[in-house]
Structure 1
Amino acid sequence: MVEQLGNGDGLLLVDVQNDFCPGGSLAVPEGDEVVPVLNRWIALAREAGIPVYASRDWHPETHISFRERGGPWPPHCIQETRGAAFHPDLQLPEDAAIISKGMDPERDQYSAFDDTGLAERMRDAGVERLWVGGLAQDVCVRASVVDGAREGFEVHLLLPATRPVDATPGDGDRAVEDMQEAGAVIERSAEPGK
């Protein structure tokens, strides 16, 4: 339960991009349903004056994760396209820190912490406790939560603010177990402060 956000807290929104929402090239089932939940958390973060971070896949057209290059995914989140843009209803603050990943055509990056400098930025901002939601629960959210815990942050997964790809049935549940084993706290309420 979130009693109150304050000094030492940070909010991380993982890859809430058009291509991961219904109609996108790599749509997560019900992916857009995370947006209103995250907007409530963004409002809470702004009220508390805590930093908001938003990661995004920002791929070149020939990225190694794409099927044409032997990767597992269809082309998605190609730089400067509508698919790579954040969901239009996501109420990102103007001062949110944008973390781009997956820009090297020869290297994939699922975690928002993978060689992006995010952990250092958060430490510089005094973040100790991190609240995380976004897409997809069993891919980039999982990797970011596990890495955040490994970096020493107290990580809270906002479960109602995530959705899994579930490419293999049960992937989402397994990802939640992985995150819990890594030390993350699983928050099951959709409402901040509940």
Structure 2
Amino acid sequence: MKIVATDALLVIDPQNDFCEGGRLAVAGGAGVMPTINQLAERFKRVIVTQDWHTPDQVSFASNHDGAAPFTEIDVAYGRQMLWPDHCLQGSPGADFHPDVAPTVRKSSAVIRKGYNPAVDSYSGFFENDRRTPTGLSGLLRELGVTRVVLCGLAYDYCVRFTAEDAVREGFEAVVIRDATRAIAPETAAEAGRRFAALGVIELEAADLLRIA
């Protein structure tokens, strides 16, 4: 695959709370930041997403009496995983990891998501109600983007749902496997199956950078 002008790099939630020491740490999360920076150097268009929650977010286990993190409940829009409190607006945990600063500086936009306390948001395109858009689709179309390349955290949730929605919105989607990390093996396997079914391509960064 050759990087062209109609490609955009989508960097999903490269935030402190998803890295080692964070409130919802993904194993090896910080380790992908140098690879993300290498990728960003090659793209004309770079867009970053950012989880941006309020303390009363419906997906926080702390807001449901007796509920434990990593269990599911029914909410107005369907099933919702409950998480530890994370990426609170204005908190250090919501900040971008310092090692990804060059990519953030290069980005043309930051798409904040999950700021509605009544609806969580995994995808960079839609909140979890599957109806409320973030504006990312419109921005990509304005920029003339036809293919998105995804990296960041986490592979089995926010990267997965962003890639799936990219395809549904009419974009080609490519996931860079070694520039992302998963929360759990079971959900990572399910993400891989969904990608294969939807035609989402998975590559290693070296494969892309070698011929870019």
Structure-2 residue corresponding to 1:88: 98
- Give structure 1 regions of 4+ aligned residues with deviation exceeding 6 angstroms: none
Task: Give distance in 2, aligned partners of 1:96 and 1:193.
Answer: 21
Task: Return the offset for 1:95.
Answer: 4.4
Structure-1 residue corresponding to 2:30: 32
Structure-2 residue corresponding to 1:178: 194
Task: Return the offset for 1:180.
Answer: 2.2
Task: Give distance in 1, aligned partners of 2:41 and 2:136.
Answer: 22
State the identity as a percent: 38
Gap regions ≥5 residues in structure 1: none
Paired residue total = 186
Matched to 2:155, the amino acid is Q
CA RMSD of aligned residues (A): 1.3
CA contact (8 A) 1:40 1:192 kept: no
Matched to 1:79, the amino acid is Q
Task: Return the offset for 1:94.
Answer: 4.4
Structure-2 residue corresponding to 1:23: 21
1:13-33 per-residue CA deviation (whole Å, 9 max, x = no partner) reads 000100000000000000111
Task: Return the offset for 1:51.
Answer: 1.3
Task: Give distance in 2, aligned partners of 1:180 and 1:127.
Answer: 22
Matches within 5 A, 1:132-151: 132-151=150-169
CA contact (8 A) 1:111 1:147 kept: yes
Q: Secondary structure of the residue that 2:156 maps to in structure 1? A: helix
Structure-2 residue corresponding to 1:192: 208
1:71-120 per-residue CA deviation (whole Å, 9 max, x = no partner) reads 51000000001000011010223443100000000111110000101011
CA contact (8 A) 1:63 1:105 kept: yes
Task: Give distance in 2, aligned partners of 1:16 and 1:95.
Answer: 13
Task: Give distance in 2, aligned partners of 1:162 and 1:118.
Answer: 20
Gap regions ≥5 residues in structure 2: 65-80, 127-132
Q: Secondary structure of the residue that 1:193 maps to in structure 2? A: helix
Task: Return the offset for 1:188.
Answer: 2.7
Q: 2:58 aligns with which of 59, 64, 68?
A: 64
Task: Return the offset for 1:176.
Answer: 1.7
Matched to 2:118, the amino acid is E
Structure-1 residue corresponding to 2:75: none
Q: Secondary structure of the residue that 2:105 maps to in structure 1? A: coil
Does 1:103 pair with 2:115?
yes
Q: Secondary structure of the residue that 2:134 maps to in structure 1? A: coil
Q: Secondary structure of the residue that 1:132 maps to in structure 2? A: strand
Task: Give distance in 2, aligned partners of 1:191 and 1:183.
Answer: 18
Which of these two proteins has the greater Rg computed from alpha carbons?
2
TM-score of the two chains, using structure 2 as the length reference? 0.84
CA contact (8 A) 2:39 2:209 kept: no
CA contact (8 A) 1:44 1:192 kept: no
Does 1:77 pair with 2:87?
yes
Task: Give distance in 1, aligned partners of 2:121 and 2:51.
Answer: 8
